[in-house]
Amino acid sequence: MSSKISHPLDDLLRIERLPHIWCPGCGIGIALASFLRAVKELNISMDKIAFVSGIGCSGRAAGYVHCDSFHTTHGRAIPLAMGIKVARPDIHVVVFSGDGDLFAIGGNHFIHAARRNVDLLVICINNFNYGMTGGQVGPTTPFGSLTTTSPYGNIEHPFNLVHLAAAAGAVYVARWTVAHPIQLSQSIKKGLMKKGFAFIEVIAPCITLYARYNKLGSPPEVMDYLKRNSIVRNFIDPSKAEINVKGRIIVGEFVDVERPEFITELYRLIEIRGGLKVKNLVEPLE
């Protein structure tokens, strides 16, 4: 009998690249595991997934998944993902990145991909600061929070990411915390199968910097904080789902609608104007 220890998700990971670089207690691994469980439960082949990340702690996930993956330049995960989807509309294209990469450096790309309703699943790990570069204030840092560049409290109002995504045109919008891995995995399954721009925010306070500066405690205490302060409010107005430092966190599904999808419309035009037979590429994925 072999004494080798294995994990149920080993076949979806580049295990030769482990151990990972994330800090002890970091929630990014929970979010990644929730994504991989969703893939496994849907029985999607890793050959049918392109996994795209930007720069930052969350961006390192691209190096650990056993599929075609791309670690892009800062803020450019979504335009590269769009290029992949245009060239290969028959595969699932997933963007897995952080709040700074997606909404500071890459914010303009996000809103226009949502506006166009490009068939992508975007998973944003919101750790409330720039975790990899020193814990600076970012576009999602809650008002009043302490960071290395806001030692007297953040005076900037943060983005409400689910409201922004919904207002920009996303057809599926959800938010969970890393203390809700089962619900998160279920939402990822919906996002993977949704035709159009799907967005899922994952609340995972940076353990090493944000949690320490704001006295949220150890990793188990942060998980307890997330459980105690999270309130499920499905399909409420996402503008009412703001996050306050040490306050309540509204989680759940906020948007699930249908509207024409960009890649399908693009190929329809190509077929009409160019006479190319590309219908087989834009059939719904199973």
pLDDT at residue 272 in the model: 76
**22-260: CATH, from 3.40.50.970, 3.30.9.10, 3.40.30.10, 1.20.1540.10:** 3.40.50.970
Give domain limits for the chain.
22-260
pLDDT at residue 203 in the model: 97
Q: What's the pLDDT tens digit per position in 217-266?
A: 999 999 999 999 999 999 999 999 988 767 789 999 999 999 999 999 99
CA 196 to chain centre: 15
Q: Looking at the predicted structure, is the pLDDT value of residue 41 above 80?
A: yes
Sheet with 49-53: list strands edge to edge. 68-71, 49-53, 92-98, 121-126, 198-203, 172-177, 249-256, 230-232
Rounded (10°) CA dihedral 258, 262, 268, 269:
140
The region that residue 194 occupies, defined by phi over 0 for left and psi between -120 and 50 for alpha, beta otherwise, is beta
Percentage, residues of the chain above pLDDT 90: 83
pLDDT at residue 1 in the model: 47
Q: What is the value of pTM for the model shown?
A: 0.93
Q: Looking at the predicted structure, is the pLDDT value of residue 284 above 50?
A: no
- Tokens representing 244 are 């306050």
- Tokens representing 173 are 């919008």
Q: What's the pLDDT tens digit per position in 114-158?
A: 999 999 999 999 999 999 889 899 999 999 999 999 999 999 999
Average pLDDT over residues 256-283: 78
Residue 38: is it exposed, middle or buried by C-beta count within 10 angstroms (0-12/13-18/19+)? buried
* Cα–Cα distance, 190 to 183 (Å, whole number): 11
Q: 255: helix, coil or strand?
A: strand
* Cα–Cα distance, 65 to 16 (Å, whole number): 11
